[in-house]
Chains A and B, each alone.
Chain A
Amino acid sequence: MNIKLIYSLFLTYFVFCSAISQDLTHAKNFSIENGISSSNVYSIYQDHIGYMWFGTDVGVSRFNGYEFENFAHKKPPFNSPVTKIWEEKHTISFTNMNNNFYSIINGEIIETSSKKNDTTLNKNHFDVSKNEKLKKNFENIEITSTFLDNKKGMWVTTLDDGIYYIPDHKFIETRPSNNKIYGLGVFNDNITYGYKTSTSLKIIDKPKFSEAEIHFHKNKLYYKKELIYTFNGNYINSSKKSKSRFIKQNKEFIYFIGDTNEIYKIDPIKKSQLVIKDHSLLNISSLGFNSNDELLIGNNNGIYNYTQKKHILLDPLNKNNNYKIISINSNLRNELIVATKSSGIFLKDKNNLFSKINNEKINSSYINALDLDKDDNIWIATNNGVYKINKNNSNIDLHFNNQNGLLSNQVNDIIFLNGKIYTAHNKGLSIININDYNSNGDSTNVTIPYIRYDNEKINNPSNEITIDSKYSYLTINYLAINYKLKGEVNYKYKINGIHNDWIFTKERKVQFTTLPEKGTYIFEVKAQNEHSIWGKTTKLKMRFLTPFYKSWWFIALIIFFSLISLWLITRAVYKRKLKMNRLLTEKLDFEAKALQSQMNPHFIFNALNSIQSFITVGDIMNSEIYLAKFSSLLRKTLNYSNHNTIILSKEVENLKIYLELETLRFEDRLNYEIIIDELVESDLIKIPPMLIQPFIENSIIHGLTPKPEGGKIKIHFYLKGENYLVCEIIDDGVGRQNKINSAHKSLGTSIVKKRLSLLSIEVPDYLKYTDLKDELGEPKGTKVKLTIPIK
């Protein structure tokens, strides 16, 4: 065991009195400044979750270790002090001096008719007057109630002075001192400590050394200024050196006392003394031995094996290896533990190689001292308290600091003795009763008071929640109640499935601004207790619902409806196409029929007859002309029957050829006239082909043929509005009443009628017959009026 002291320490030896209860070193006072609504506090209660409830003269307040939440009565006057608070079936109830009863339901104070008052004595009550220290501290304060919380913390309410909280650090005792304690030692199984004053050295000890500067080692040896003694009183040696600091004993019980630049080797049995001086000995900061009992010297530049005269590399990867060695210790297994000032701790492993303890906390700490307990666990004193490092896994098992009982975070020295860890502080001494500490019983666990979906707050959610996809963010508020930590709780959380590593925080909420689309995730959160021990994991199972538009049923529905619509559309298109096809077929059919009607056998044979007659009478030229015209008509008819539309002027040409043919046949009995209104753009207007001819033929056959003197056909084209062309066919024949052959008439014109109706459903009177009469009312011919849609 290495004991180091700064040479100018006073050294004091102490026998601590046992069973020291709470002192006020860590007490905290809560008043209006801390958020409670009144400093006149009358009653205390701790509910099943761990919240502290306080009854004041204006209502009740709840404390969670961070802040007070005040519940005030909404109906004034409510100025009667709350004398008692209790809990029934997780509902907080309280009564006041006026004997009114209230409950807190959904955050509201509700007056209850139930007069049931828990009249049993408060088991958590303790008597301040029986505690000397407390009594002294509360001398001038009017105490209204006391309460021992579930962690043995003491709560004292006062009039006008708020609340006092005295944490229970039962396994840590503190010995405050006005002196800065720099070093610790052991003498006669008692701890000695050294401190520094500005003027003189003092020692308060059994050996009655006065004004000495001494080091002790295992009660066997001490070093006094210029002298080294064994405690059996034998004088060993005197030395002029005054800077020795390190006493180490090797396996042969030979002591080595290190000074800055030299080492005294003392054999107490032989009473021999040897001064080791070497040019390599500079700025010695620690001494030790390896398993072969070779002397190791730690200085500002690393470890030097004095026996073998060689430098030991702690960190082969790091070239400079210039670590300031604080201590060199061997454990029970003869393994070396080397502490550096600011570069962590190195362990000599099975392969006799040094390896660094891989702990960020330790690596980033300034190590002031190191000691091993009886189980070889490593205890280090740092500027941030004391860490206990598990010998098996090098994890930090415990952390002690000002929060959980140490006098201060700055720890100058540390020493293990008889199951206790003693630490030296600038403010005095702390003693950790590590045997009393039960690491399992005191864990700090996390609750989830509420979560928020967007702005929707859910109090006390069950441990499995379902999150609708309509929400855009989720806030989980968690809380660990640990009054000792004074609002400095360390949390870590992660979401299984999203985070690989824990996320460390002191915040009490986590907000997820982007929610997973679907799936189940488990939110886990833990808190550290005052000794940096992580408590139980609190889990919140979060089931994120698939947005409805991504859920299987919705997709299925969409697919279903898509298929239905597709089918409907297809069917509609198909039907429409069928209908179109039918119409088209019908149209083509009628066009074919139109061709037929135009080229009806009657006309063809009449035409051929005419040609024959020209030939018979020897009128070769007329027969040639007639034949050419006939073939021309035939050609055009055949051509245009393929077209949907024909330019009006071309159709008129065809009509002219037809009429000329008929004229040839009728000789002088047939005259015709075609009039196109000037407004009719005959070269631009398109009409269905072969529409008009049957009506002309009809007029010739039925109107004019029966008339011996023949007659005249007048065809008149004019516009009706912008979209209709009217074709009037006027004959001065015998009229429809006198028609001879009605069967033929119906053939050609009925087809045309049908075609016209196919083309223009919206024209109701696309075909109109008018019987013309003379002044005497006798038939004078027929007027056919065709209304043709034009493009």
Chain B
Amino acid sequence: MIKVIIIEDEKNAIKTLQSYINKYTSEISILGIANNMKEGIELIKTSKFDLAILDINLGDGTGFNVLEAIEDKDFGIIFTTAYDEYAIKAFKYSAIDYLLKPINPKEFVEAIERYKTNITNISNKQLKIARTINNNKIVINSTNEMHFLELDEILYLKSDKNYTDIYIKNQQRITSTKTLKFYEQLLSENRFLRIHQKYLVNLNYIRKYLKEDGGYVLLTDNSKLEVSRRKKEDLMDALLK
């Protein structure tokens, strides 16, 4: 049985969540509900639970404030919000999911399922590490694994339809369930640049820019990635910085 707490300031939203849990999930029990940030912090500190469904806008604070007040973030987190501008920040906290309100019941169920999958593979300790992530680390969710990578380890990311192949230093390849677009946004403040529809590249590993055939970059591991005409200028700018 998965113990869930709900931190949410809107009564109707709490009702919807309770309804969704009851109707569309199994083996989940609601351990407690908090109506604002203060109660939320209190609830997290005083109860033993597995998964927090955390609203971002809490009236007296945000869901992020709640997490900042907690040291051992050894639990799963599903963010809910009516706004989508927090998505990237949410993922920095290794949220399992980020649900926009009104919540699509299908997406809610998928999020719960994802937690269940993760929990079998990832220990709470790993979660804890994941939650201490800083700007130089990234958590990558593959189909049934969670990878904790230093950004420096990543050479480039390649789009594979709705998945993303992440090429890391030791010739390894990890396939993430997120789109390349997602990582582009996630890593926009780091030295990663979308050079092509297919590629997001770590600028630190570009060895050469080849003008042939419309432009390529040669990476330190000799991978040769095409550069989109539309991105040449951006690439030059970024490289010269």
Contacts and interface: CB of A to CB of B under 8 A. Distances in A.
Given A635-B100, A649-B181, A722-B229, A683 B159 contact: yes
B104 A632 contact: yes
B230 A684 contact: yes
B104 A628 contact: yes
A628 B228 contact: no
Given A628-B105, A629-B104, A684 B228 contact: yes
A317 interface: no
Interface string A678-696: 0011111100000000000
A621 B105 contact: yes
A684 B105 contact: no
Contacts of A627: 102
Nearest to A622: B105
B184 A628 contact: no
A683 B104 contact: no
B159 A632 contact: no
A118 interface: no
Nearest to A682: B197
B15 interface: no
A505 B127 CA distance: 104
B178 interface: no
B228 A681 contact: yes
Nearest to A648: B197
Nearest to B16: A624
B106 interface: yes
A624 B105 contact: yes
Given A621-B105, A649-B181, A683 B100 contact: no
Contacts of B45: none
Contacts of B73: none
Nearest to A681: B197
Interface string B103-123: 111110000000000000000
B39 interface: no
A638 to B, nearest CB: 11
A684 B230 CA distance: 7
Contacts of A632: 100, 104
Contacts of A649: 181
Contacts of B105: 621, 624-625, 628
A621 B16 CA distance: 12
A683 B197 contact: yes
Contacts of B24: 621
Contacts of A565: none
Nearest to A628: B104
A625 B106 contact: yes
B227 to A, nearest CB: 11
Interface residues of B, number: 22
A649 B198 CA distance: 13
Contacts of A359: none
Interface in B74-120: 84, 100-107
A649 B230 CA distance: 15
Contact of A684 (B101, B106, B197): B197
A272 interface: no
A631 interface: yes
B231 interface: yes
Contacts of A620: 23
Q: What band does the interface of chain A fall in when counting residues whose beta carbon is under 8 Å from B?
A: 20 to 34
A639 B100 CA distance: 14
B194 interface: yes
Nearest to A679: B197
B196 interface: yes
A240 to B, nearest CB: 115
Contact of B194 (A621, A680, A684, A791): A684
B56 interface: no
B102 A685 contact: no
A684 B232 CA distance: 12
B228 A625 contact: no
A488 B180 CA distance: 101
A683 B230 contact: no
Given A621-B105, A683-B181, A635 B196 contact: no
Interface in A607-639: 620-621, 624-625, 627-629, 631-632, 635, 639
Contact of B231 (A629, A631, A635, A684): A684
A625 B103 CA distance: 8
A682 B181 CA distance: 10
Nearest to A653: B181
Contact of A635 (B84, B104, B197, B229): B84
Contacts of A631: 100-102
Residue among B104, B159, B180 facing the most chain A CB atoms (10 A cut-off): B104
B15 to A, nearest CB: 12
A680 B24 CA distance: 39
Contacts of B196: 681, 684
A631 B197 CA distance: 29
B230 A624 contact: no
Residue among A625, A628, A682 facing the most chain B CB atoms (10 A cut-off): A628
B197 A624 contact: no
Given A625-B105, A628-B102, A649-B181, A681 B159 contact: no
Nearest to B24: A621
A627 B105 CA distance: 10
Contact of A683 (B23, B84, B180): B180
B157 to A, nearest CB: 12
A628 B159 contact: no
Interface string A37-48: 000000000000
Nearest to B200: A683
Nearest to B184: A683
A682 B104 CA distance: 26
Interface in B10-27: 23-24
Contacts of A621: 23-24, 105
A685 B181 contact: no
Contacts of B197: 680-684
Contacts of A635: 84, 100
A352 B230 CA distance: 105
B230 A628 contact: no
Residue among B194, B197, B228 facing the most chain A CB atoms (10 A cut-off): B197
Contacts of B180: 683
Contacts of B104: 624-625, 628-629, 632
B95 to A, nearest CB: 18
A298 B194 CA distance: 111
Nearest to A627: B102
A760 to B, nearest CB: 17
A627 B159 CA distance: 31
Contacts of A685: 230
Nearest to B103: A628
B103 A683 contact: no
Interface string A214-235: 0000000000000000000000
Contacts of A682: 197
Nearest to A680: B197
A685 B24 CA distance: 39
Interface string B25-64: 0000000000000000000000000000000000000000
B56 to A, nearest CB: 15
A98 to B, nearest CB: 94
Residue among A632, A684, A685 facing the most chain B CB atoms (10 A cut-off): A684
A170 B181 CA distance: 119
Nearest to A620: B23
Contacts of B228: 681, 684
A598 B123 CA distance: 47
Nearest to B106: A625
B223 to A, nearest CB: 19
What 7 A-B pairs come out closest when comparing CB atoms?
Answer: A628-B104, A681-B197, A628-B102, A624-B105, A631-B102, A684-B230, A683-B197
Given A628-B104, A631-B101, A635-B100, 18 more contacts: A620-B23, A624-B104, A624-B105, A625-B106, A628-B107, A632-B104, A635-B84, A649-B181, A680-B197, A681-B230, A682-B197, A683-B184, A683-B194, A684-B194, A684-B196, A684-B230, A685-B230, A722-B229
6 contacts: A624-B104, A625-B106, A628-B102, A628-B105, A635-B84, A683-B181
